[in-house]
């Protein structure tokens, strides 16, 4: 049992470090930035504080599991609040749907918007979502997909057959439209395709489980400190369990010999001896110089990246009474807006995600508030970005004014665009890694361990199960379990 080095204190790396340290391993985490969290970061602008990544937490049980593995109770470190509504969906025709907790309350919302017959169909669809989730979670999401040969095992084939019978291998839009008829309700259950970097026409029906996770499972937010409180608490738990966290240092080379991993060279010139390494950072960059010979993965030969996003964070000198934490403003266009992204163009009529974290009381001075708007945007693999940001920002300000947020052109603001994401170390200028097309899903996503370099493991959004807070926490757990089982 030699030392372990974790490269990257994003949520994936931290999840691995917490578990390994709690199991008695000698763990060092090296993080290039000055704070933990990676995408789940934080930024300040004057008296305003913003979460620069995820704005809500789904599947809090996965996070609780990471704390429990370190002998800690999530609730005492990080009390969470369930949001109500989970989302507010606003349509171009002026109507809206609140996604609320509980089947009866949600069916009533659907009845109000779409009528009694659709509410009945919604109940049946919700039951199908639960079946899909049950068929997928243990078998495909919460499971190590590193060994491709496991795909051919009879148990895996039986589970795949079950998923196929539930419609998991149909296209998402067809699966949902097979149950629901109102286009607004269909949008409410297919926009999540964007979370896996695809359009509802491209994504497989298996990704309907995302709708189950957030519209049924609910969305949560820390009671104090915003989303960035999550990595802060995880880093504190890892340190309490004995891990060393080193910020502001970059790993530049993983060294390996004939018996596998031997150490990690840092940009300070220092060398950390290591028997195991968890690489929990951007994998295409890692393969371009950080990793030793023999670490190549055929799955990364022709990477297809998710779309990126333009994000504007505003400091408001007022509050917005009645505004939900999360509001999705759908544009008039639907399929063409996804096609625009695929062709490398900004969406003609963008769908916007507006976050108003009113319950994060420390984020703004009394009587003030913060507002964040995210517009999906093409990544740099698809688009030449030159000069696009000012034009898109101007259009976004106009759109926000039309939507009733007032003139925000004079408000203090902070922006992140695809070149900015690239500057933060995200390949192709997207913080959402590879998309989840079939050939980048499950066993076909970059492997969790290098077959030819013993002791070299991977975690984070480039590996299975994929992008998003719960998946990267799972990837960290899987990496830690592989190391603990291997007894190198
Ligand atoms: C704007 C935005 C909104 C999002 N919204 C949601 C949401 O609502 N729900 C959801 O579930 N998910 C959301 N996500 C996605 C989610 O945040 C990510 O999938 C997840 O946090 C990625 O974690 P990670 O550990 O894989 O990678 P990262 O967070 O990228 O962490 C990698 C870390 O490695 C460090 N690093 C890189 N190279 C080196 C090196 N050589 N040496 C040392 N350190 C290095 C980096 O600095 C970084 O801290 C969002 C992301 C963004 C950006």
pLDDT at 129: 95
Tell how far the Cα of 126 is from the centroid of ligand 1, in angstroms.
31
Tokens of 315: 């400091």
468 near 12, Cβ under 8 Å?
no
Q: Chain centroid to CA 401: how far?
A: 29
234 near 64, Cβ under 8 Å?
no
> Running DSSP on this structure, what letter comes out for residue 361?
G
Tell how far the Cα of 460 is from the centroid of ligand 1, in angstroms.
8
Q: Chain centroid to CA 17: how far?
A: 19
Atom of ligand 1 nearest to the CA of 13: 25
pLDDT at 154: 80
The 10s digit of each residue's pLDDT in 104-135 is 999 999 999 999 999 999 999 999 999 999 99
Tokens of 472: 């990267």
pLDDT at 81: 96
The 10s digit of each residue's pLDDT in 270-319 is 999 999 999 999 999 999 999 999 999 999 999 999 999 999 999 999 99
pTM score, two decimals? 0.97
**pLDDT of 421 higher than 90:** yes
Atom of ligand 1 nearest to the CA of 285: 38
pLDDT at 153: 80
Q: Which domains does the chain have, with CATH numbers?
A: 4-43+59-71+224-302+434-485 (3.50.50.60), 101-215 (no CATH), 306-429 (no CATH)
How would DSSP label each residue in 166-221?
TTTTSBHHHHHHTT---HHHHHHTTGGGGGGTS-TTTSBGGGHHHHIIIIIS-EEE
Atom of ligand 1 nearest to the CA of 426: 30
Substitution candidate for ligand 1 out of 16, 54, 354, 474 with most atoms within 8 A of CB: 54
200 near 58, Cβ under 8 Å?
no
Mean pLDDT of 145-170: 85
Q: Which residues contact 34 (CB under 8 A, 6 or more apart)?
A: 247, 248
The 10s digit of each residue's pLDDT in 367-420 is 999 999 999 999 999 899 988 999 999 999 999 999 999 999 999 999 999 999
pLDDT at 382: 87
Confidence of residue 159 (pLDDT cuts 50, 70, 90): confident
Q: Provide the percentage of residues in the chain whose pLDDT is more than 70.
A: 100
Instruction: Write the burial class of residue 304 (CB in 10 Å: 0-12 exposed, 13-18 middle, 19+ buried).
Output: middle
Is any atom of ligand 1 closer than 6 Å to the C-beta of 31? Answer: yes
CA distances from 236 to 24, 154, 242, 328 (A): 16, 42, 10, 34
Tokens of 462: 């480039």
Tell how far the Cα of 33 is from the centroid of ligand 1, in angstroms.
12
**pLDDT of 487 higher than 70:** no
Tokens of 338: 């996804």
How would DSSP label each residue in 240-291?
HTT-EEEES--EEEEEEETTEEEEEEETTS-EEE-SEEEE-S-HHHIIIIIS
**pLDDT of 488 higher than 70:** no
Is any atom of ligand 1 closer than 6 Å to the C-beta of 54? Answer: yes
Looking at every residue in the chain, the average pLDDT score rounds to 95
Atom of ligand 1 nearest to the CA of 433: 19
Tokens of 101: 């907790």
Tell how far the Cα of 472 is from the centroid of ligand 1, in angstroms.
9
Confidence of residue 150 (pLDDT cuts 50, 70, 90): confident
């Amino acid at each position: 049992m030699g030392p372990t080095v974790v490269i990257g204190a994003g949520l994936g790396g931290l999840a691995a470090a917490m578990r390994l340290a709690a199991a008695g391993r000698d763990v060092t985490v090296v993080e290039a930035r000055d704070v933990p969290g990676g995408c789940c970061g934080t930024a300040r602008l004057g008296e305003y504080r913003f979460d620069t990544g995820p704005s809500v937490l789904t599947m809090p049980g996965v996070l609780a599991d990471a704390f429990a593995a370190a002998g800690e109770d999530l609730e005492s470190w990080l009390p969470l609040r369930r949001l109500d509504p989970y989302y507010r969906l606003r349509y171009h025709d002026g109507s809206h749907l609140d996604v609320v907790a509980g089947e009866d309350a949600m069916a009533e919302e659907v009845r109000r918007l779409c009528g009694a017959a659709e509410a009945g169909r919604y109940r049946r669809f919700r039951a199908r979502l639960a079946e899909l989730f049950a068929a997928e979670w243990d078998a495909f999401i919460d499971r190590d997909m590193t060994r491709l040969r496991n795909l051919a095992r009879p148990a895996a084939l039986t589970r795949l057959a079950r998923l196929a019978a539930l419609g998991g291998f149909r296209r998402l839009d067809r699966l949902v439209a097979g149950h629901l008829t109102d286009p607004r309700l269909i949008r409410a259950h297919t926009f999540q395709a964007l979370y896996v970097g695809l359009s509802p026409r491209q994504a497989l029906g298996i990704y309907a489980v995302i709708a189950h996770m957030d519209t049924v499972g609910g969305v949560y937010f820390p009671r104090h400190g915003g989303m960035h409180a999550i990595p802060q608490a995880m880093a504190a738990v890892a340190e309490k369990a004995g891990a060393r966290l080193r910020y502001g240092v970059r790993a530049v080379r993983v060294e390996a010999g004939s018996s596998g991993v031997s150490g990690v060279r840092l940009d300070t010139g220092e060398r950390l001896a290591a028997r195991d390494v968890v690489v929990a950072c951007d994998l295409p960059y890692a393969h371009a110089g950080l990793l030793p010979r023999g670490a190549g993965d055929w799955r990364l030969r022709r990477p297809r990246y998710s779309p990126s996003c333009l994000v504007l964070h505003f400091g408001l000198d007022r509050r917005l009474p009645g505004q939900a934490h999360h509001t999705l403003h759908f544009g008039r266009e639907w399929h063409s807006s996804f096609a625009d992204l695929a062709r490398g163009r900004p969406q003609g009529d963008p769908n916007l995600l507006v976050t108003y974290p009113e319950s994060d009381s420390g984020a703004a001075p009394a009587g003030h508030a913060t507002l964040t708007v995210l517009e999906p945007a093409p990544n740099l693999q698809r688009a030449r970005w030159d000069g696009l940001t000012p034009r898109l920002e101007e259009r976004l300000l106009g759109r926000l004014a039309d939507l009733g947020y007032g003139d925000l052109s004079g408000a203090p603001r902070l922006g992140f665009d695809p070149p900015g994401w690239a500057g933060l170390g995200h390949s192709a200028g997207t913080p959402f890694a590879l998309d989840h097309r079939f050939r980048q899903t499950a066993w076909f996503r970059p492997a969790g361990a290098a077959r030819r370099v013993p002791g070299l493991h991977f975690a984070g959004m480039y590996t299975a199960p994929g992008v998003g807070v719960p998946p990267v926490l799972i990837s960290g757990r899987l990496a830690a379990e592989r190391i603990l089982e291997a007894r190198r």
